[in-house]
A and B are shown apart, each in its own frame.
Chain A
Amino acid sequence: MAKSTEYGSTYTLPFEQPIVELQKQITIFEQKPDAAEFAEEIESLKKNRDQLLEKIYRNLSPWDIVRVARHPQRPQTSDYIEMMCRDFCELHGDRHFGDDPAMITGFGRIGPHKVMIIGHQKGKTTQEKITCHFGCAHPEGYRKALLKMKLAEKFGLPIVTFIDTPGAYPGLKAEERGQAAAIAVNLLEMSRLKTPIVCVVIGEGGSGGALGIGVGDRTAMLKYSWYSVISPEGCAAILWKKADEQTNLQAAEALKLTAVDNLANGLIDDVIAEPSTGAHRDPQATAKQMEHWIVDRIRELKRFKPQTLVQKRYERLRNIGEVALAATPTQH
């Protein structure tokens, strides 16, 4: 994925407004026929712009982070496959109903490892976005993922999943074809697959649709991704009775959905660094960071016997949850 402009973005997020003016000035200077004479000014303006942008990104609110995670130029599963994977061999279809483009699956090599890659795909062009339902997979997507994961298990390949979905598709046909059942079966089967599974939330980790390919031995989140039981808007609509700018912000805060929060709560293992102003400004650097993490984790996990791996995976899940003991017992 090529950088769209020099500083990597043609789409301005609301909180990036302060740099718009600076960028305008830079463009004016650069377009002058005698631009070379203003090299110093341009350089200084660019420095200011970059510093300002970094400062903004250091203090993003959780709701701002959700926006970065949804940035239209944010790299997607297909980009990361292209950037970090040699000889990708895509495999289609769930052998039952169809082929869901919102879920990409296939063999690939990452570093020294042959792996099975599973990932949500949101789509780039408007047409693609529509066919991918904006990254919301249907039941056949989850079934396709499971089928390929079992294939990986059979041939001893580790599984790498890229999570990037607002949620599983909430539609009529999806319900008819058993959205809930498809996800449920994935949770159960992934917990006992006898091969290493590493998961990375690369953008949006929306609820059951994310978890449906998210049960593994190690989970990481990119710095500006989110992972939660519900989207901020969904939460705001239910608990605040309306989803607007104000309540979305409050819900995003309350849900503790950022990478840093999820790490602090012990729900993920690592936060993978992104370029200080977001993955969309330097996809290559992001891919490199992620590749290191994946390669290292797989190396570490390959040392375990399959039974030990499954046992440890169970123990990890088993320990999640915070409960207390009440003074009075429940009535019967």
Chain B
Amino acid sequence: MTQTPSPHPIDTSELKPIHAKKGVPEGLWIRCGKCAAMLFRKAVENNLWVCTKCQHHFRVSGQQRVKQLVDKDSFEPFNTTMAPVDPLGFVDLKGYPERIAAAQKKTGQNDAVQTGMAYIKGRKVILACMDFTFLGGSMGSVVGEKITQAIEQAGENNLPMVIVCSSGGARMMESGFSLMQMAKVSAALARFDDQDGLFISVLTDPTTGGVTASFAMLGDVILAEPKALIGFAGPRVIEQTIRQELPEGFQRAEFLLECGFIDRLVHRKELRTEISRIIDYAGK
């Protein structure tokens, strides 16, 4: 897909629109969707797509995440041509193939995860980075299969497995197939665990639904980016169930830390250091 224009490195719905001024080239400035500050795009990019004003961690694409995490040019991707099919002939307001094609065009990706072998500060790892910009990072057969194969690779090669999660959950358009990917990836992790493999799970905004209820929460060590939304059910569903407003900060990474479900909160710029540090303690 080299002919398509370069996809946006973040989820642009997180940006507030700016009124173009005459004489200022487009794309030079962006406006943070969180604090509304006008930011020099280059500065935010250099800050790993974290708002220089309010430290809001923007949702980065899988491609961008890999770039941020690994040692320069060390990423050797797996299964780059693996692509989704439409096993159920799923049609809602649009057909599933149509949705896939649009997402592929927008992101330059075949599906919602990048997997491969890479070095992080000189430590060799197997890495999977989910991509929220592709159909909400949802897990269907491709995501399940790529992550499973990556885990199997990690097991065979005695390497640590790092998964950066960013997903709304299982993909509805593949229904039962998506649901069973939860079991498949978890089963692969059980084997990896039996092989004494180290699995570091990194939770980023958002990690919900079937992804949280499977591999995301199965890390030997679980890290999370500040303020990331992490949960099983979505906040709106919970509000409807309990018929009251949710407390401030509910289902945010800080809340999960307090409840005891994650090990460490890690600022994006510390992620490489933290991962390599854990590998030094627990890796083989």
Contacts and interface: CB of A to CB of B under 8 A. Distances in A.
User: Is the pairing of A and B real?
Assistant: yes
Interface of A: 168-172, 174-181, 183-185, 187-189, 191-192, 207-208, 211-212, 214-215, 227-230, 234-235, 238-241, 250-251, 254-257, 262, 265, 267, 313-314, 317-318, 320-332
Interface in B241-280: 241-242, 246, 250-251, 259-261
B80 A330 contact: yes
B172 A255 contact: yes
Nearest to B104: A326
A165 B172 CA distance: 18
A254 B90 contact: yes
Nearest to A229: B179
Nearest to A250: B92
Given A321-B145, A323-B84, A256 B184 contact: no
Contact of B246 (A172, A262, A318): A172
B231 to A, nearest CB: 5
Interface in B75-122: 75, 77, 80-85, 87-88, 90-93, 108-111, 114
Given A239-B93, A254-B88, A323-B145, A230 B172 contact: yes
A170 B233 contact: yes
Contacts of B251: 175
A323 B142 CA distance: 6
B241 A170 contact: yes
Given A181-B217, A323-B145, A330 B108 contact: yes
Contacts of B177: 265, 267, 320-322
A262 B251 CA distance: 33
A163 B239 CA distance: 26
B82 A325 contact: yes
Contacts of B261: 178, 181
Contacts of A324: 82-85
17 contacts: A180-B216, A185-B217, A211-B179, A228-B176, A228-B179, A229-B172, A229-B174, A254-B90, A255-B88, A313-B187, A318-B148, A320-B180, A321-B145, A322-B85, A322-B87, A330-B108, A331-B2
A229 B209 CA distance: 10
Task: Select the residue from B179, B238, B251 with max chain A CB neighbours within 10 A.
Answer: B179
B183 A317 contact: yes
Contacts of A317: 180, 183-184, 187
Contacts of B241: 169-171
Task: Select the residue from B85, B110, B111 with max chain A CB neighbours within 10 A.
Answer: B110
B181 interface: yes
A229 B210 contact: yes
Query: Closest 7 interchain pairs by CB?
Result: A170-B233, A191-B187, A321-B141, A329-B80, A326-B83, A187-B186, A331-B108
B187 A187 contact: yes
A330 B7 CA distance: 12
Contacts of A326: 81-83, 110
A211 B185 CA distance: 13
Contacts of B81: 325-330
Contacts of A168: 213, 232-233
A229 B144 CA distance: 14
Contacts of A251: 92
B179 A207 contact: yes
B252 to A, nearest CB: 11
A329 B110 contact: yes
Given A314-B191, A323-B83, A175 B232 contact: yes
A214 B188 CA distance: 16
A320 B184 CA distance: 8
B112 to A, nearest CB: 10
B175 interface: yes
Contacts of B84: 323-324
B182 interface: yes
Contacts of A185: 217-218
A129 to B, nearest CB: 15
Nearest to A318: B184
A184 B165 CA distance: 14
Contact of B183 (A170, A187, A234): A187
A318 B191 CA distance: 12
